[in-house]
Amino acid sequence: MSLARAAESLRFHRSPIFVARISISLLFLLLSFNLAAAQSGKSGGSGRRTATLNVIVQAPKDTKVSKDAIDLYDAGIPQEIETFAPLEAGSRIVLLVDNTINLKAEGPALQKAALAIVNELFEDDQMMVVRYNESADVIEELTPDLKKLQEATEKFEHKSFPKLFDALIAVSDSLAHQAKTGIEKRAIILISDGYDSDSQTKFDQALYALQDENIVLYALQVPDRTHGALLRDKPKPPTVLELLTVGTGGAILQFDKAAEAAKTISDDLRNNWYRLTYTPTGVNSINKRRILLISRNPKIIVRTKGSHPGKYREHS
């Protein structure tokens, strides 16, 4: 019986026994509703849902890392970690390469760096190769085929100017589809100096998209073509790379040591990637919230994205 029908019946049946029965029925309905809400993780209409974090863990060999080794803070509030374990699965990766005329990296150097990254893939990994200037151009679709990916590294060219933030939105949309197929390990490997020229996308929007989709970004940093010049309405190129990597749990690596960088990234993706879940408590999910992970063991280093993005609001 619905609450409305029960109330209507009370208008015509005033006997104490009938009223008592209706009261008990209403109480049962309310208790059932609250129990169902609690089981769905939305007790009291608070909208609490389990949150997932990618965590990169660097620890001494043969060191077992458990949830007891770290503390988690969401918006400055301590949180209870529910699960924390290595994620042993293949990765979906986008290799995103700046292909513009004034990039301080010659074609052969770009190819060498990209090839080093491709050659570190594992059998269950898949990669997409994208070059960008004023638009993002897919050289090779997402594939595990090592030969096709190696051939794709021969197709870089220098022209036009970089719309980096637009390219990040495009590839994050592509990786977002992988989440719907159950793929949780998703990363972008960016070869760039961090310079953006007149993207329609704002920097905050690009970072929001990566954080919202739990995509980790690594950057092979090319020397800054702007020599530290101030840019209107956007961070300096080196700061762009720093904010993108720290903001997503990735890392900046040296372009001129590409082979070493490729092995570091491969090790993170294969051996150091953990999945953490918790139910945020005492926070407002609408607002951007800083995420902080602290290791209790100084020999264990942990990284995750810098914040939950909340509901995006474009800055004026």
The residue-averaged pLDDT of 282-310 equals 94
Contacts of 299 (CB under 8 A, 6+ apart): 59, 60, 63
| Residues 195 and 240 placed together within one structural domain of the fold | yes
| Residues 32 and 118 placed together within one structural domain of the fold | no
SS3 content of the chain, % helix, strand, coil (to 5): 35, 25, 40
Give yes or no for a contact between 175 and 215, defined as CB atoms under 8 angstroms apart.
yes
| Residues 85 and 21 placed together within one structural domain of the fold | no
More confident residue, 227 or 252: 252
| Residues 132 and 242 placed together within one structural domain of the fold | yes
Name the maximum alpha-carbon separation found in the chain. 91
Q: What is the CATH number of the domain that holds 126?
A: 3.40.50.410
The whole-number pLDDT of residue 175 equals: 93
The whole-number pLDDT of residue 286 equals: 87
pLDDT at 26 over 70: no
| Residues 115 and 30 placed together within one structural domain of the fold | no
The whole-number pLDDT of residue 44 equals: 34
| Residues 76 and 192 placed together within one structural domain of the fold | yes
Give yes or no for a contact between 214 and 245, defined as CB atoms under 8 angstroms apart.
no
| Residues 14 and 126 placed together within one structural domain of the fold | no
The residue-averaged pLDDT of 40-52 equals 58
pLDDT at 58 over 90: yes
| Residues 13 and 112 placed together within one structural domain of the fold | no
Lowest mean pLDDT among 36-40, 74-78, 225-229, 230-234: 36-40
**Cα–Cα distance between 183 and 175 in angstroms, integer?**
9
Question: Which band of pLDDT confidence, cut at 50, 70 and 90, is reported for residue 247?
Answer: very high
Token pair for 225: 């073509």
Q: How many domains does the chain have?
A: 2
The residue-averaged pLDDT of 146-172 equals 96
State percent of the chain over pLDDT 70: 83
The whole-number pLDDT of residue 47 equals: 53
CB-CB neighbours of 202 under 10 Å: 15
**In terms of residue numbers, what domain contains 18?**
3-39
| Residues 19 and 98 placed together within one structural domain of the fold | no
State the average pLDDT for the chain: 85
| Residues 117 and 219 placed together within one structural domain of the fold | yes
Token pair for 7: 């109330």
Distance, C-alpha 177 to centroid of its chain: 13
Question: Which band of pLDDT confidence, cut at 50, 70 and 90, is reported for residue 303?
Answer: very high
pLDDT at 46 over 60: no
The whole-number pLDDT of residue 257 equals: 97
The pLDDT tens digits of the residues spanning 173-206 come to 989 987 777 778 999 999 999 999 999 999 999 9
The pLDDT tens digits of the residues spanning 111-149 come to 999 999 999 999 999 999 999 999 999 999 999 999 999
The residue-averaged pLDDT of 242-259 equals 98
The whole-number pLDDT of residue 87 equals: 93
More confident residue, 179 or 40: 179
The pLDDT tens digits of the residues spanning 10-19 come to 233 334 433 3
The whole-number pLDDT of residue 135 equals: 95
The whole-number pLDDT of residue 193 equals: 97
| Residues 53 and 183 placed together within one structural domain of the fold | yes
Token pair for 116: 């080093």
| Residues 271 and 219 placed together within one structural domain of the fold | yes
pLDDT at 37 over 80: no
